[in-house]
Structure 1
Amino acid sequence: MSFDLRMLGWTDEFQAGLPDGAVPGRVARVDRGAAEVVTADGRHQARYGAQVRRESAADPIALPCVGDWAALTLLDEGRYELARVLPRRTAFVRGGVSRDSRGGLSGDGQGQVLAANVDIVFVAEPSMHAADFADLGRIERLVALAWESGGRPVVLVTKADLFDRGLDDLLADVAIAAPGVDVHAVSSISGEGVGIVRSYLGDSRTAVVLGPSGAGKSTLVNALAEATVMETQQVRAADGRGRHTTVHRQLIPLPGGGLVIDTPGIRRVGLYEMSDGVDLVFADIEELAAGCRFSDCRHTEEPGCAVLEAVETGELPERRLNSWHRLQREAAWMARRSDARLRSEETRKWKIIHKEMRRSGRGRP
């Protein structure tokens, strides 16, 4: 089976970065130490070359990821080797954040790329949730990461056919949590909204679908593909939680053009090297902050705080301000962890250099 690389997202920009003699391929799936890549002449398994192994050992961000474009080398035995990952146009990166035994943040400051070279980030949140109808905090977090990735976030309130009443109110609440972002109700079973989702993926655009287990991501991908390309499972009736059906990320070309990356359910997503993502998600708070008495107002207890006044009048939901504080603290914490890791790596590098200089005698006066 042959593929038109242009329909897979290949551009002149990627072509300019391709080494002479290399074969371009797009990563469709990643396994341990190897990747399934799509080239003009079909699908192939490609082992990682020495440069890829070396770079990814030093920085997990350099690991090949679904959606990456790669430079492949054809070996004498007829198989491909993934020699190099081409520079990414966009990348959805989550931080290595977890909770420690005391409930605080812990981690190594390193990140993980969930999808690369994506144009659209579909944030899927199920309308029928166990405790509440939508996790607005999770939506804010994923949308912030989507903005930071360079892709365009779109929020999909899935399983709309199971929502008896109040769907418009739910969509309004979600729109407040994601200002400036398109929000759509979708039912993959009834077909509601599937056409709208497909309209974002004309030509060679690539989307990734992110959300918790049970959000209906794989069912949506099957509806978009007009075939069963991903397995699905029912949500557990006891607690309303979904089961992990998708256990790996996979790039799927769609009929009529466009590609979509299905992902496993996400339990915890940490921020990573944020610059503008949180500010874009909380544009309403940024706008209110312009009216604060102090330019460095933290919106906690300062006099003349326009943000706190908006909370008191009901203009701004208190939940939203609390979420802003939480993400700001986490982004600052991740920045400190990242800086500490970089300083440690730089120190280690210079120790190696000095050791080599002493060994060779160049460091002697």
Structure 2
Amino acid sequence: MTIDLTALGWDAERAVHARRHPGRRPGRVARVDRGVCTVFGADGPLRATLGPAMLAAAAGDLTRLPCVGDWVLLRTWPDGPVTVECVLPRRTALVRRTAGKDASGQLLAANLDTAAVVEPVHPEPDVARIERLLALAHESGATPLVVLTKVDLAADPAAIARQLAGAAPGVPVLPISAERGVGLDPLRAHVAPGRTLALLGPSGAGKSSLVNALAGAVVMPTQAIRRVDGKGRHTTTWRALVPVPGGGAVLDTPGVRAVGLFDGATGLDRAFADIAELADGCRYADCAHDAEPGCAVRDALAAGELTARRYDSWRRLGREVTFETRRREARSAAERRSGWRSARRRTPRP
């Protein structure tokens, strides 16, 4: 079995990076299982462990480990094993905050061209979740998209899409039913030769059904939703890159209970572009948008031009981003102090 790597995104720029490592061959990571990578190479899929150089590079920063969507360089050893030797530079990256206290980020996926926020319309879309995931998508560097799934269960899906457009300024909102094949063509445009579409959303949102519909085959397991409350069960527990016939790939991510923003200041401004534009009109550049005079954001809120729900969501996510930024800065300062003390201990006395 051979694989056309250019259909998965291999290009001249990546080839330049690869030539700096002679004797290594390229591949794209399709899945990672406890340090073992499933990689699409030119000769077909293969399993590769992490090489010593790869482990050393990631010792101080786990985000340097390969993740789904990464382009990597492989080495085949004389006795047969294959190892991942390095990760090529990422063009985009989807990073969320980890649940621990180490102020670090978890890399969900890399090298995405489009990041689609997938949200079911039944029983009711969670607007705050859409806003949070859109901030994450914007921050990744990929083109954001909102996909409303299971629209066959809604009386007027077009009306729901129009209502949600206010929570996604400048972002297309696509109502889709994978079960009935409705609305898939606009989404297919984001899965073209050399391009990757990532699906981000909660369990039961229908991401696996979308992957199957785009791939034209059952490649991901699915389960029917409960008609009582419209909820589905967690069917996919791993992130996977799935090639699509004709070129391109879809990247399915497992549903997450909570997505913490790690470094989302830019993404937050883009996800709330309407409020960011209002903030530019505030009297003071450092306006906290609380009780300051001449606050354009508060004026829009009082005039009914900005809903209290969206304002509260923006403020909540802003506080989260500020908190995470301070945690990272504190961690960096502590590491610098630790390095300085270690250097002093190693310096011999005159």
**TM-score over 0.5 (shorter chain):** yes
Which of these residues, 322, 327, 331, is aligned with residue 321 of structure 2? 331
Q: In structure 2, what is the Cα distance between the partners aligned to 1:300 and 1:92? A: 31
Task: Please give the residue correspondences for 1:199-210 in structure 2 after superposition, counting only pairs within 5 Å.
Answer: 199-210=189-200
> How much does 1:172 deviate?
2.0
Q: Is the 8 A contact 2:94 2:108 kept in 1?
A: yes
Q: In structure 1, what is the Cα distance between the partners aligned to 2:132 and 2:96? A: 10
Q: In structure 1, what is the Cα distance between the partners aligned to 2:59 and 2:236? A: 26
Q: In structure 2, what is the Cα distance between the partners aligned to 1:173 and 1:269? A: 24
Aligned to 1:103: none
Deviations 1:131-171 (A, max 9, x none): xx111111111111111111000100111111123x33321
1:179 and 2:207 are equivalent in the alignment: no
Q: In structure 1, what is the Cα distance between the partners aligned to 2:131 and 2:29? A: 29
1:352 and 2:342 are equivalent in the alignment: yes
Q: In structure 2, what is the Cα distance between the partners aligned to 1:51 and 1:344? A: 26
Q: Is the 8 A contact 2:190 2:196 kept in 1?
A: no
Deviations 1:178-222 (A, max 9, x none): 111111101001111111111111121011101000100000100
Q: Secondary structure at the match of 2:231?
A: coil
1:294 and 2:284 are equivalent in the alignment: yes
Q: In structure 2, what is the Cα distance between the partners aligned to 1:6 and 1:337? A: 40
Q: Secondary structure at the match of 2:102?
A: strand
Which of these residues, 117, 122, 125, is aligned with residue 111 of structure 2? 117
> How much does 1:89 deviate?
1.0
Which of these residues, 273, 277, 295, is aligned with residue 305 of structure 1? 295
Which of these residues, 146, 149, 154, is aligned with residue 140 of structure 2? 149
User: Match of 1:38, as an amino acid?
Assistant: F
Q: Secondary structure at the match of 2:199?
A: strand
Deviations 1:285-332 (A, max 9, x none): 122223323232222122222212212222111111111111111111
Q: In structure 2, what is the Cα distance between the partners aligned to 1:291 and 1:78? A: 64
Task: Please give the residue correspondences for 1:17-96 in structure 2 after superposition, counting only pairs within 5 Å.
Answer: 17-18=17-18, 19-96=21-98
Q: In structure 2, what is the Cα distance between the partners aligned to 1:271 and 1:159? A: 27
Tell me the percent identity. Answer: 49
Aligned to 1:7: 7
Q: Secondary structure at the match of 1:179?
A: coil
User: Match of 1:294, as an amino acid?
Assistant: Y
Q: Secondary structure at the match of 1:188?
A: coil
1:223 and 2:213 are equivalent in the alignment: yes
Task: Please give the residue correspondences for 1:119-134 in structure 2 after superposition, counting only pairs within 5 Å.
Answer: 119-129=113-123, 133-134=124-125
1:158 and 2:149 are equivalent in the alignment: yes
Aligned to 1:135: 126
> In structure 2, do the counterparts of structure 1 residues 305 and 31 end up closer, same or farther at CA, with 3 Å as the change threshold?
same
Deviations 1:60-88 (A, max 9, x none): 21121000011111101122111111111
Aligned to 2:349: 364
Q: Secondary structure at the match of 2:83?
A: strand
Please identify, of 315-324 and 268-277, the stretch whose mean Cα deviation from structure 2 is larger: 268-277
Please identify, of 311-320 and 284-293, the stretch whose mean Cα deviation from structure 2 is larger: 284-293
Task: Please give the residue correspondences for 1:176-325 in structure 2 after superposition, counting only pairs within 5 Å.
Answer: 176-237=166-227, 239-325=229-315
Aligned to 1:100: none
Q: Is the 8 A contact 2:262 2:321 kept in 1?
A: yes
Aligned to 1:360: none
Q: Secondary structure at the match of 1:351?
A: helix
Unaligned runs of 5+ residues in structure 2 are none
Q: In structure 2, what is the Cα distance between the partners aligned to 1:142 and 1:68? A: 21
User: Match of 2:16, as an amino acid?
Assistant: A
Q: Is the 8 A contact 2:114 2:190 kept in 1?
A: yes
Please identify, of 230-239 and 277-286, the stretch whose mean Cα deviation from structure 2 is larger: 230-239
Q: Is the 8 A contact 2:158 2:175 kept in 1?
A: no
